[in-house]
Amino acid sequence: MKKYSVVPNVDVSAWIVKLEDVAPENEYAAKDDAIAAAEQMAKDNSPSMVEIMDKEHNVIEEKRF
């Protein structure tokens, strides 16, 4: 199962979608845009999951596709 994570950058000015929390896929100005992109990637590569993290990299939400 592939894991996509949505995390803010250091100063929370942008949101980054990462595959397996290692390889950055894309960067987005809005959190909602990053979540939507991660969910689409997960749906396209099912079975997958999306973890949405806060600035301390704590998982605040998890979705499975």
**Does residue 63 lie in a domain region?**
no
- pLDDT score recorded for residue 25: 77
Count CB neighbours of 65 within 10 A: 18
Q: Is the pLDDT of residue 21 over 80?
A: no
- Give 1-16 pLDDT, tens digit per residue: 999 999 999 899 999 9
Domain hosting 19: range is: 2-51
- Give 24-62 pLDDT, tens digit per residue: 779 999 999 999 999 999 999 999 999 999 999 899 999
Number of domains in the chain: 1
Q: How far apart are CA 65 and CA 54, in angstroms?
A: 21
Q: How far apart are CA 28 and CA 45, in angstroms?
A: 20
- Sheet containing 2-8: order of strands: 23-28, 15-19, 2-8, 48-53, 59-64
pTM of the full structure: 0.90
Count CB neighbours of 13 within 10 A: 9
**Does residue 56 lie in a domain region?**
no
